[in-house]
């Protein structure tokens, strides 16, 4: 039976979407991956662009609210921002909860190049976290 993983963020627009893309890629068909937000803000176009630079297509992802998944019994719930960890709803399962706060590149300011670099930095951190998660818990 495939493990079920939920990646939770504030708006399900950027960090959780990136993590979903990488975890899907690293784990291949070994798991079911979902991402959601405490709120839904739509998938951020810069997140899509930044992931495409690394060969991961998240353009067909949707922004989902965590309430949509309350009936699923997850094996893992990964929170990728402090706000989501603090507001994470109770899931009626024995899910292992893991947390890593990543900087929110959507809050970055500066030139276009500086904003793009903030997205790339967050992408790099999420990629490393996602690879380690898959290596440690899935494979």
In this predicted structure, the answer to whether residue 92 has a pLDDT above a threshold of 70 is no
81 a catalytic residue: yes
In this predicted structure, the answer to whether residue 83 has a pLDDT above a threshold of 70 is yes
The residues, any chain, with a CB within 8 Å of residue 96's CB and separated by 6 or more, are 75, 76, 77, 137
Catalytic residue of the set 9, 58, 77, 78? 9
16-30, 53-67, 89-103: the lowest-pLDDT one: 89-103
14 a catalytic residue: no
- Give the rounded percent of residues in the chain with a pLDDT score beyond 70: 94
- Return the pLDDT at 55: 98
* Rounded (10°) CA dihedral 57, 8, 28, 72: -130
Q: Which residues of 52-81 are buried (b: 16+ CB within 10 A; e: fewer)?
A: eeeebebeebebbebeebeeeebbbbbbbb
Residue 118 domain boundaries: 3-138
SS3 state of residue 135: helix
9 a catalytic residue: yes
Q: How far apart are the first and last CA of the chain?
A: 13
> What domain count does the chain have?
1
- Return the pLDDT at 38: 87
Q: Tell me the pLDDT tens digit for each residue of 25-74.
A: 999 988 999 999 988 989 999 999 999 999 999 999 999 998 899 889 99
CATH of the domain at 78: 3.40.50.2300
Per the listing, tokens 């067909």 go with 60
């Amino acid at each position: 039976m495939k493990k079920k993983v939920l990646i939770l963020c504030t708006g399900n627009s950027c960090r959780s979407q990136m993590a979903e893309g990488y975890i899907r890629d690293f784990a291949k068909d070994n798991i079911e991956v979902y991402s959601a937000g405490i709120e839904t803000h739509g998938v951020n176009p810069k997140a899509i662009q930044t992931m495409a630079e690394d060969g991961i297509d998240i353009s067909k992802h949707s922004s989902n609210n965590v309430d949509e998944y309350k009936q699923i019994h997850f094996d893992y719930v990964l929170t990728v921002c402090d706000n989501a960890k603090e507001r994470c709803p109770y899931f009626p399962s024995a899910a292992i909860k893991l947390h890593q706060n990543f900087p929110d590149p959507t809050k970055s300011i500066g030139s276009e190049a500086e904003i793009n670099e903030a997205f790339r930095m967050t992408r790099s951190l999420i990629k490393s976290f996602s690879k380690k998660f898959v290596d440690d818990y899935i494979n």
